[in-house]
Structure 1
């Protein structure tokens, strides 16, 4: 690996970081949920509570991470986050106690936030210093490969290992990758690049903050219902039981190139235009399982959802991070985090009561629609000179 260019090595470290703490640490619960319900007998209300605990931890961790200083404190936060994510993933297989699950998933969310924000900060700053900020999109593909890899693990190992064993297997596999990220992610300078920037490349033009805040909060709530329950939804439909894992795997594979694709679209057509298109595609993806029970609809939904949910974050942050005197990133993250915590909680109790999964997905699509309207308002309000 030492033959690789230092920039590529750092990007690989960031890629694997997001695979560990996001693709597995944060989203592994989705393909495991039907197996956990089979093994432990809990309903969608408990499923929503466990998911919300992880998202609550992520919210708190995101806010705490914004006050961590650069240098040694940020590097320490990153390493602690990696270790905590791996340990809590493994430990989920050691207990069947709900209270301990909630603690573990909350700590896992904290760990995901610390590791992701610290790693993204170190990589982004190193890339910015050499004029290669656009390459950060390669790092976010790690979320997709983590989702796809963990989905494949569940699909092929589930006939032989119960859900507890699958939690522990994922913890062990991510531990194998940890030395690479510890070596490659750090506070360091990268060699200067000789490649001149493309003068035709569009750059983000900031949007009015509060409409963008509403938009991003709606995204947090709207995406989280699909991200939590889609495997359980597909597996609950007659004739599609064997397709549930593949829906999640395909969502991960679609996410692998998504940030690169949408970054290119943003640079060509504008960040706001690309963000509008990504929202529209995600809304269609969330509604497809409501409109049709077919396997084809589920697979197309997986592509549309997986191909947009990380990219929306990547496109939103540049449009709002300078708002509120430089506190825009923290406040946007708080709104998103609150939304994604409420999404599975509300959906779980809705399905456990008089509702069903179709109602939950339709409701989350409606929230995404409100977010799209708020984005359109923000674009309309933006001064022409900005």
Structure 2
């Protein structure tokens, strides 16, 4: 029973961490963006630049998290990431001049990656020791829960406190939730890191792994355009209320998606569902641009929400299967490549939106990129040599 409680506590801690560091620290930006454009006096291209800065920080954090965990341990790195996430969430509202917001979003991205990689190492190790790897999909649901929370709570808070005050409020909420995470994980020990006895293992060189990494990077580019500008794009066509509904719908779909996609992987292997998820997501991204109207916006949000965390779960699990003894390095490397895609996406989309006065072309580019990711690994997914991958 004690072992089961440790596993449940670890999964719960992972869930809350992703809600704080990703759902709030990263995605609170999306529902607040339309108000920030007015209140902070920003242009769409500046908004895209801010989002890209966030992912520059994420990239740095992703590549540095592995070595930091190796030296200081996962729990310390996780605590640092959560502290930085809470601090930068609050300072995005306390310091509203554009250069200061740039610094806050840059550090917020770094915090998200540190927390994500560190808690993934702890939780994946915990459930692997208990022989309950199927629970991995549950803790990834924290991202969806954070999106739902921001989508529901941010607009009413912003009515009274404005965008700046909403950032501060959520910074305080994040701090309280972070204390719960540390309490749940205080007795957990990460993998032992003995640099002399256990030198760094090389990353896989299998061509199938390299194709998977490239596809994951393309996904980072395509998904983040929608993840950043969904509410702003929806507001232009269905109004503020419709945009809020779409964002909450995306979060509700994301909440169970990682677990459901992991169940699909148990039946068909990971790559076939991964290809399906890419194509479904691309449909969700481009649907509002092609059809228009509130039903298309909400349907697109549901398809997007139902796939983006599923893709993370399937891709990282597949990547780790090529080097089980170097799981942390694989996750960190793939997260870094994903981050490169995320850096390019928002800036390009913001530039295109500023020049065309619409997000439609940017969303079409995002959808095409995600389709390309699916096509890249389709041969590995459906080839005769690897029927179960």
Summarize deviations over 1:92-146 as a string: whole Å, max 9, x none: 1112211111111111111111111111111110110111111111111110111
Give the match for residue 280 of structure 1.
Answer: 279
The whole-number CA distance in structure 2 between the counterparts of 1:169 and 1:77 is 24
| Per-residue Cα deviation, 1:347-381 (whole angstroms, up to 9, x for no partner) | 00111113630000001101111111101133366
Q: 1:79 to 1:328 in 2, by over 3 A?
A: closer
Partner of 1:104: 104
Gap runs ≥5 in structure 1:
191-205
Question: Structure 1 pair 183/336, CA: closer, same or farther in 2 (3 Å)?
Answer: same
In the alignment, what sits opposite 1:371? 373
- Tell me the CA shift for residue 181 of structure 1: 0.2
- Deviation, 1:73, is 2.8
Q: Distance in 2 between matches of 1:185 and 1:234?
A: 39
User: Which whole-Å CA distance do the structure 2 matches of 1:351 and 1:174 have between them?
Assistant: 32
Which TM-score applies when normalising by structure 2?
0.89
Counterpart of 2:289? 290
* 1:209 to partner: Cα distance: 1.9
Q: Per the alignment, do residues 278 and 229 of structure 1 end up closer, same or farther by CA in structure 2, a change over 3 Å counting?
A: same
**Which region of structure 1 is more displaced relative to structure 2, 350-359 or 298-307?**
350-359
Structure 2 residues not aligned, in runs of 5+: 191-205
The alpha-carbon deviation at position 187 of structure 1 amounts to 6.2
Distance (whole Å) between structure 2 residues aligned to residue 354 and residue 11 of structure 1: 45
Find the residue that maps to 1:188 and give its secondary structure.
Answer: coil
Q: Does 1:77 align with 2:72?
A: no
1:376 & 1:311 partners in 2: Cα distance?
17
Cα offset, 1:382, TM superposition: 7.8
Q: Structure 1 residue 357 and structure 2 residue 359: aligned?
A: yes
Partner of 1:344: 346
Assess, with a 3 A threshold, how the Cα gap between structure 1 residues 222 and 187 changes in structure 2: closer, same or farther. Answer: farther
Are positions 1:224 and 2:200 aligned together?
Answer: no
Structure 1 segment 193-272 matched on structure 2, within 5 A: 208-237=208-237, 239-272=238-271
Q: Partner of 1:68: helix, strand, or coil?
A: helix
CA contact (8 A) 1:75 1:187 kept: no
CA 249–207 in structure 1, closer or farther in 2 if over 3 Å, else same: farther
Which stretch shows the higher mean deviation, 56-65 or 149-158? 149-158
- Structure 1 segments of 4+ aligned residues over 4 angstroms from their partners: 322-327
**C-alpha displacement of 1:333:** 2.0
Is the CA contact 1:276–1:372 (under 8 Å) kept in the aligned structure 2? Answer: yes
CA contact (8 A) 1:78 1:118 kept: yes
Per the alignment, residue 86 of structure 1 pairs with 86
In the alignment, is the contact (CA less than 8 A) between 1:208 and 1:381 conserved in 2? Answer: no
Q: Residue 172 of structure 2 aligns with which residue?
A: 172
User: Could you state the TM-score of these two structures normalised by the residue count of structure 1?
Assistant: 0.90
For 1:136, the equivalent position in structure 2 comes to 136
For the 8 Å contact 2:221–2:338, the answer to whether it is kept is yes
Q: Is the CA contact 1:207–1:378 (under 8 Å) kept in the aligned structure 2?
A: no
> Residue 96 of structure 2: SS of its match in structure 1?
coil
Closer, same or farther: CA 382–171 of 1 in aligned 2, 3 Å: farther
CA contact (8 A) 2:271 2:380 kept: no
